[in-house]
Copies of this chain bind each other. A is one copy, B any other.
Amino acid sequence: MSDAPSTGPAPAPRKPSAARERLLATAGRLFYAEGVHTVGVDRVISEAQITRATFYRHFPGKEDLVVEYVREQDLALRAQATEIAETTTDPTQLLAAIVEGVAQRLTSTGFRGCPFINAAAEYPDPMSRVRRAVDEHRVWFRSTVAELLTAAGHPDPEYATDLLVMLRDGGQVAAYLGDPSVARTTFLRSAASVFA
């Protein structure tokens, strides 16, 4: 258990703190399921079983918690992509796995649309910290898809990237506001047609 950096001048990684993790997990669950502005700090605090003081010790304000929530969602998807990348290096197979991952999420229980799209809908200012966090994710996803399509030798990687991202967005909206299984089928079929 000695993670002692004895020599390292590193500013000490600091333990995640159980209360902070509860706070983050609860905020993520509530913000996604009910919306950001709908859920107040009191809700998060009481359900995470922490106190107001503890909350404000970890975050300067609510917006910071929202930003962290968005970043966590982004982090989770990047981690999933990294996990996939450990199974194969073939760009075509990687793309197929990413598409499959999106499709699976569409029909997962508790799915309430894309967390980034939903969060952005509540933050009109494109320069707000929340919107910038959303952008960070979208830029990452887009560039990842673009690189894979190029590596796979797609004849028109730029258009294919834009289309694939658009199908992902539309698929999530369709799964949220319509029949998830239909959305899944439509997404999979249209995404497959992009590679042709």
Whether A79 sits at the interface, judged by CB under 8 Å, is no
Chain B interface: which of A15-23, A47-55, A162-170? A162-170
Whether A68 sits at the interface, judged by CB under 8 Å, is no
Identify A166's interface contact among B112, B117, B167, CB under 8 A.
Answer: B167
Is B122's CB under 8 angstroms from A121's CB? yes
A139 to chain B, nearest CB (A): 9
Number of interface residues, chain A, beta carbon within 8 A: 40
Identify A35's interface contact among B122, B169, B183, CB under 8 A.
Answer: B122
Q: A176: which B residues are within 8 A, CB to CB?
A: 120
Whether A83 sits at the interface, judged by CB under 8 Å, is no
Q: 16 A-B pairs, CB-CB below 8 angstroms?
A: A33-B124, A35-B121, A37-B37, A37-B38, A38-B122, A113-B120, A113-B121, A116-B177, A117-B121, A162-B182, A163-B190, A166-B171, A166-B186, A166-B190, A167-B167, A169-B173
